Amino acid sequence: MFDDTPRQLPARLPELRAAAREAGFTMSCDERTGSLLAVLAAGRPRRILELGTGVGEGTAWLLSGMDDTAELVTVELDGALQAVAGALFGADDRITFVTGDGGAWLEKYDGEPFDLVFADTWPGKFTHLDLALGLVAPGGAYLIDDLLPQPGWPEGHEASVERLLADLTTRPDFRTVRLDWASGLLLAVRTDA
C-alpha cells in the first residue's frame, strides 16, 4: 500500500496542534492538505493568500514551503484563534495577519493579485467565490479543502459543496482537478490572461 503520510513537517506543528486542542478548534488543516500547500508554496509563488488562518496550521505549512521573497496574507475572523499563529509567526516579515471577516476583506481588497489562494473558510469558497477567483493571477492556483463529508457539517453543507463543484468545474477561465484525498480537495489554475 502507498503511504502518503507527510515526512517533512513544519517545526511549530506540535505547538499549533496543542493550541488547537486547548481552544477546542477542530477545523485545522489536514496534514496531507498541508503537505500539498508546502509543495505549492515551494513552487515559488510570489504572493499567497490564505482565507481562514485558524490557529495557523495551514499557515505553518505554507511558510515551510515559501522562500524568503514570498509574501503571505492570511485572514481570520476569530482574533483569539489567529493570535496563536501571530504569537508563533508574528516575527516573520513574510506574513501579514488580517483579523476580520474574510468576505468583507474580499469586498474591500484592491491590491495585487495572488499566485496562490488557499480558501479554508466559507468566504472565498461558499460565499464571495467570484471575488476570490478574481484575485488569482493568470497561471496562479486556487485550492479548497473540506469537500468530503465531515462529522459536524451543518445542515445543507453537502448541497453547498455540490453547487460549488458544479460552478468551479464548468468555468472557462480555470482548469480544475478534484482530489478524493485528505478532506477532499479541488485545485484550480487560472488559464486566461
pLDDT tops 80 at residue 168:
yes
Give residue 1's pLDDT: 77
Contact (CB, 8 A) for 131 and 142: no
Half-sphere exposure at residue 56, Cβ-oriented, CA atoms within 13 angstroms: 31
pLDDT tops 80 at residue 151:
no
Lowest-pLDDT range of 68-72, 79-83, 156-160, 169-173: 156-160
Q: How confident is the model at residue 153 (pLDDT cuts 50, 70, 90)?
A: confident
Contact (CB, 8 A) for 106 and 128: yes
Q: Which of 154, 51, 60 is nearest to 109 (CA)?
A: 51
Q: How confident is the model at residue 2 (pLDDT cuts 50, 70, 90)?
A: confident
* Residue labelled with grid coordinates 468566504: 123
Residues 154-173: what's their mean pLDDT? 91
Q: Which of 85, 115, 88, 107 is nearest to 97 (CA)?
A: 85
Per-residue pLDDT reduced to its tens digit, 41-62: 999 999 999 999 988 999 999 9
Give residue 184's pLDDT: 93
14-20: list long-range contacts, CB under 8 Å, 24+ apart.
15/88, 16/55, 16/56, 16/57, 16/60, 16/84, 16/85, 16/88, 17/57, 19/55, 19/84, 20/54, 20/55, 20/57, 20/84
pLDDT tops 70 at residue 193:
no
Per-residue pLDDT reduced to its tens digit, 64-112: 999 999 999 999 999 999 999 999 999 999 999 999 999 999 999 999 9
Give residue 155's pLDDT: 83
Give residue 7's pLDDT: 85
Dihedral angle sign, alpha carbons of residues 130, 135, 137, 142: negative
